[in-house]
Amino acid sequence: MKEKKKKINVGGRAELKFIGVVESSDEMEAEVQILPEFCKGLKGINDFSHITILYWIHLRDSEKERRTLLVSPRKHAVDFKRGVFACRSPSRPNPIGLCVVELMKANGCTLTVRGLDAIEGSPIIDIKPYIPRADSISNARVPDWTLNGPPT
């Protein structure tokens, strides 16, 4: 008997508004410039030592990269393919990056952070405070290959 495919209704309208850009980035620190119309949203951010930054991986925003579904996790020195949803590859159907960073300071519309893996020119999608009670899972299960290599 032939199995019927279930229809998925995604529906609705999605609109993405970039709220800023990575102005400068090196191995140590990065400066993130938030657009003036979103600066009020930074009120209270200095109360947090760490924040999560979601950004657009703009250099991987091509039809070819968006169609890539199997990748080799290159930073982990493994020789096998994994699905993009099972690793942190920058090639994805929607090139969205996520990084928990240390907030060094917020000055006006500029955030100085440590540990950002986005490059200069990357558009910022959103910023969320890192809250250990909600964001850290002490008994999370991961495959062995993720235990070696640099932080992702």
Q: Where are the domains of the chain?
A: 20-130
- The class that CATH gives domain 20-130 is mainly beta
Question: 75: part of which helix (H) or strand (E)?
Answer: none
Closest by alpha carbon to 114, among 122, 125, 126, 102? 102
Closest by alpha carbon to 55, among 15, 14, 18? 18
pLDDT (tens digit, 9 = 90+) per residue, 27-40? Answer: 789 999 999 999 99
Radius of gyration of the chain (CA): 18
6, two tokens: 């279930």
* Amino acid identity at 77: A
- Tell me the percentage of the chain whose pLDDT exceeds 90: 64
Q: What is the pLDDT of residue 100?
A: 95
The pTM (predicted TM-score) of the whole model is 0.86
- Tell me the percentage of the chain whose pLDDT exceeds 70: 92
Q: Are 65 and 95 in contact (CB under 8 A)?
A: yes
